[in-house]
Amino acid sequence: MENIRQQEIQKYEELIDKRMKPKLLHATAQSADLRRNIENLEKNSVTSLRTMVNIGSEVYVQAEVPNTQHIFVDIGMGFHVEFTWSEALNYIEKREERIARIFCLSSFATMKLTVIIGVQGFRFRVRGKAFEIS
């Protein structure tokens, strides 16, 4: 029984460590890059620019942006929102706060799962001993 509980705990910890955390770290890195790029645009008073844009399957084309005052931000699920620089920075801040909460919740969920599985094991043992006594 103890071995089964340990396997269950390990399975959920692996799910969190190998799937959720890397995705959260990637999202955090992307947000930080976007924030840095916007801050550089503001600092250098950039009004237009030339850049490379990924059009899919890692195929890039050169694009000219005549007005950089508004940018499109990928908010997930294939949706993009047009923001001003300040709106984008506010969105990034809120997104980073949400990601930090998810990190905390995933750690809390792992601890809670360990406790729940331990309690279930204890209940199973108590019931098992009760049957042996009868």
Q: How confident is the model at residue 89 (pLDDT cuts 50, 70, 90)?
A: very high
The kind and range of the H/E element at 62 are strand 60-65
Instruction: Answer yes or no: CATH 1.10.287.370 is held by domain 2-126.
Output: yes
Report which of residues 60 and 27 the model is more confident about.
60
Q: How confident is the model at residue 133 (pLDDT cuts 50, 70, 90)?
A: very low
Residues 6+ apart with CB under 8 A from 6: none
Classify 9 in phi/psi space as left (phi over 0), alpha (psi -120 to 50) or beta: alpha
Comparing CA positions, the residue from 75, 68, 71 lying closest to residue 94 is 75
**Mean pLDDT value across the chain:** 79
Predicted TM-score (pTM) of this structure? 0.63
Lowest mean pLDDT among 4-13, 20-29, 67-76, 88-97: 4-13
Contact between 115 and 123 under an 8 Å Cβ cutoff? The reply is no
pLDDT of residue 101: 79
pLDDT of residue 87: 96
Lowest mean pLDDT among 3-7, 38-42, 84-88: 3-7
Instruction: Tell me the backbone φ, ψ of residue 82, rounded to 5 degrees.
Output: -85, 125
What does the pLDDT average to over 31-45? 92
> Percent of the chain having pLDDT more than 70?
72
Domain ranges of the chain: 2-126
